[in-house]
Amino acid sequence: MTFHVNHPILFILAGVIIAAVLGQSIYFLVKALKRSRQLGMDQTKIKKTIKTAAIFTIAPAVSIVISVITLSKDLGLALPWLRLSVVGSLSYEAIAASNALGAMDLELGKVSNLTAQQFVNITLVMTISIMVGIWLVPVISKKLLGGMSKLEAKDKKWSEIFQNAMFIGMIAAFLGFVFCNVYMLWTPDARFIDSVNAVTGDKIQVPVAATYGLIPVCVMGVSAAVMVVLGLAMKKWKWLGDYALPISLIAGMASAIPITAWLG
Amino acid sequence: MKKQMSYIDSVHRDGRLWNIGMMILLFMFPITVAVMFTASPDWGALVKGLIATAPMYWAVGIVETITFVPMLGAGGSYLSFVTGNISNLKMPCAINALEQNEVSASSEEGEIISTIAIATSSIVTTIIILLGVICIVPLTPVLEAPVLEPAFAQMLPALFGGLGVAFVSKNWKIAIAPVVLMLVLFIFIPALDSSTVGIMVPVSVLFTIAAARILYKRGVV
């Protein structure tokens, strides 16, 4: 059998694994829904939760499709489809693929025909490197979550603050990240971003405006402002609450188009 | 009489089985390719590639697991660490659902809500990626259109703007110190960028918990 990166067998193998992932999600969804009925939880609220989660997921999922397209140029379609449906993300998989190829004196972005051996090497580096969570969760989650329950039994108020502090800590890190290129304003030497030459595939540095680092800050501002307006509007139209996060996300993303043209 | 297993215990039992099964399945992919195309790995290059990649990913993976499990709950964790895209998709989805339902993440209701949100998100993601793969030929020029590129490049700021307002405004006393610290660090240390934000999440979480503890002890929150 002659190997190529889009061989039908690769799609069948990826399809089987992705079907299993889908099976796991459906299994846990059904299990949680059953339990919610046993506990007498408000089923209208549960339906709203499902609807909001589904709508909110669309835009990020489309951006994952773009990542699949990006990686498929070098690795074929089956492997990125598998890796981004399971575990991975664009940056993780691209770095893993790049390191695996680099070890064979090849360069990501400049590979035309991968051999089966090179393909196996890339897949193994991706699989072994990005696997920790899958086995570590079964090992530690019961103990960790047990500790959280003990904390709640001991001091309910502190336990609630602790939970909120964790969420805020995570959000704060991402808010900081939004400002990570602001220093370009006062650092002329840093006003370059990495890019790829569309014709040669070479890595190049593209000059950008001093205000480039303000683009994400403005986008975040738009999204936050939309959320504030929706928060106020929710007092009159309660149903808006179900769509507040997806709407602010889409509004922020849409605003990035004129903002980038203006500040980029 | 046999003691009946609690819901949460059964989630852990099933989660362990599923995750171990998924691990085996994931390894079957390269192994099957190697066997079917009679191509054994280039062992030297494999070791070299792994040395360049695995230690950092393992370190980040361990810290991420410890940080995210208490926020995602049991069912949410088993699912999220299999389906990936945690901080940019599953976690915001779970946080939003918990907020919407006004339940604590550590309660059984919170566990159920977070599992439902994450499972739904995983299912929708898998279906959208599948549709994207099937329609890749007509979709590629649309999704890669230069006009749309900035929109997808700025997804994280658009996401955390909305989420930040919703969550920070309700907990602003706890939020001041970590938000200020992260802004100062990310603005004045150029080395901190998109590749290091994953490492900064646990740093920020630990700092926020410590700051919140001080505020709690002083009766501010």
Per-residue pLDDT, averaged over A126-149, amounts to: 92
Question: Of A130, A149, A171, which closes a domain?
Answer: A130
Q: What ipTM score was computed for the predicted complex, to two decimals?
A: 0.89
Confidence of residue A93 (pLDDT cuts 50, 70, 90): confident
Residue B120, SS3 per DSSP: helix
A21 contacts B83? CB cut-off 8 A: yes
Across the interface, which of A20, A61, A175 has its CB nearest the CB of B179?
Answer: A175
**What integer best gives the mean pLDDT of chain A?**
91
Q: Measured between alpha carbons, how far is B91 from B68 in angstroms, rounded to an integer?
A: 8
Across the interface, which of B40, B108, B208 has its CB nearest the CB of A39?
Answer: B108
Query: What are the backbone angles phi and psi of residue A207, rounded to the nearest 5°?
Result: -70, 145
Q: Does residue A147 sit within a domain?
A: no
Contact by Cβ (8 Å): A145, B103: no
- Nearest Cα neighbor of A174 from B62, B169, B83, B185 is B185
CA distance A124 to chain B (A): 6
Distance linking the first and last C-alpha atoms of chain A: 49
Across the interface, which of B32, B77, B171 has its CB nearest the CB of A141?
Answer: B77
Contacts for B144 with CB less than 8 Å, ≥ 6 apart: A66, A69
Same domain, A122 and A187: no
Does the pLDDT at position A260 exceed 60? Answer: yes
DSSP bridge partners of A195: A204
Same domain, A209 and A96: no
| One pLDDT digit (tens) per residue for chain B, 221 residues | 556 789 999 999 999 999 999 999 999 999 999 999 999 999 999 999 999 889 888 988 898 899 999 999 999 999 999 998 898 899 999 999 998 899 988 889 999 999 999 999 999 999 999 999 999 989 989 888 889 989 998 999 999 999 999 888 889 999 999 999 999 999 999 888 877 888 899 999 999 999 999 999 999 98
Across the interface, which of B65, B117, B187 has its CB nearest the CB of A53?
Answer: B117
Closest CA in chain B for residue A45:
B101
Is B90 at the interface with chain A, CB within 8 A? no
Q: Does residue A258 sit within a domain?
A: yes
Closest CA in chain B for residue A261:
B150
| pLDDT confidence of residue B131 | 96
What the block records as the tokens of A79 is 């492997």
Q: Does residue A137 sit within a domain?
A: no
| pLDDT confidence of residue B16 | 96
| pLDDT confidence of residue A143 | 94
B30 contacts A135? CB cut-off 8 A: no
Please classify residue B206 by burial: count the beta carbons closer than 10 Å to its beta carbon, then call 0-12 exposed, 13-18 middle and 19+ buried. Answer: middle
CA distances from B105 to A48, A140, B98 (A): 18, 18, 7
Q: Does residue A256 sit within a domain?
A: yes
User: What sign results for the dihedral spanned by CA atoms B166, B169, B174, B180?
Assistant: positive
CA distance B3 to chain A (A): 18
- Hey, of A130, A171, A192, A255, which one would you mutate to test binding to chain B, going by the most B CBs within 10 A of its CB? A171
Does the pLDDT at position A80 exceed 80? Answer: yes
CA distance B5 to chain A (A): 13
Query: What are the backbone angles phi and psi of residue B12, rounded to the nearest 5°?
Result: -65, -40
Q: Measured between alpha carbons, how far is B8 from A142 in angstroms, rounded to an integer?
A: 9
Q: Measured between alpha carbons, how far is A27 from A261 in angstroms, rounded to an integer?
A: 45
Across the interface, which of B49, B87, B162 has its CB nearest the CB of A99?
Answer: B49
Please classify residue A193 by burial: count the beta carbons closer than 10 Å to its beta carbon, then call 0-12 exposed, 13-18 middle and 19+ buried. Answer: middle
Is B135 at the interface with chain A, CB within 8 A? no
Does the pLDDT at position A242 exceed 80? Answer: yes
Q: Which residue has the tokens 């893993």?
A: A96
CA distance A118 to chain B (A): 7
Across the interface, which of A85, A144, A259 has its CB nearest the CB of B66?
Answer: A144
CB-CB neighbors (< 8 A) of B120 in chain A: 29, 49-50, 53-54, 57
Across the interface, which of A27, A72, A169 has its CB nearest the CB of B207?
Answer: A169
Per the structure, the complete domain to which residue A49 belongs is given by 8-130
Q: Does residue A136 sit within a domain?
A: no
B136 contacts A69? CB cut-off 8 A: yes
Q: Does residue A61 sit within a domain?
A: yes
| pLDDT confidence of residue A190 | 86
The 3-class SS string of A66-82 reads HHHHHHHHHHCCHHHHH
Distance linking the first and last C-alpha atoms of chain B: 46
Confidence of residue A108 (pLDDT cuts 50, 70, 90): confident
Question: Of A89, A105, A130, which closes a domain?
Answer: A130
Is B24 at the interface with chain A, CB within 8 A? no
CB-CB neighbors (< 8 A) of A232 in chain B: none
What the block records as the tokens of A227 is 């959320």
Between A206 and B187, whose confidence is greater? B187
Query: What are the backbone angles phi and psi of residue B146, rounded to the nearest 5°?
Result: -55, -30
Confidence of residue A127 (pLDDT cuts 50, 70, 90): very high
The pLDDT tens digits of the residues spanning A164-200 come to: 999 999 999 999 999 999 999 999 888 888 877 766 6
Residue type at A83?
Answer: R
Does the pLDDT at position A243 exceed 70? Answer: yes
The number of C-alpha atoms within 13 Å of A166 and in the hemisphere containing its C-beta is 22
B194 contacts A180? CB cut-off 8 A: yes
Same domain, A33 and A126: yes
Same domain, A109 and A21: yes
A245 contacts B163? CB cut-off 8 A: yes
Min mean pLDDT across A28-32, A238-242, B67-71, B189-193 is at: A238-242
Total domains present in chain A? 2
CA distance B1 to chain A (A): 23
Q: Does residue A87 sit within a domain?
A: yes
State the Cα torsion A143-A169-A47-A227 to the nearest 10°.
180
DSSP bridge partners of A203: A196
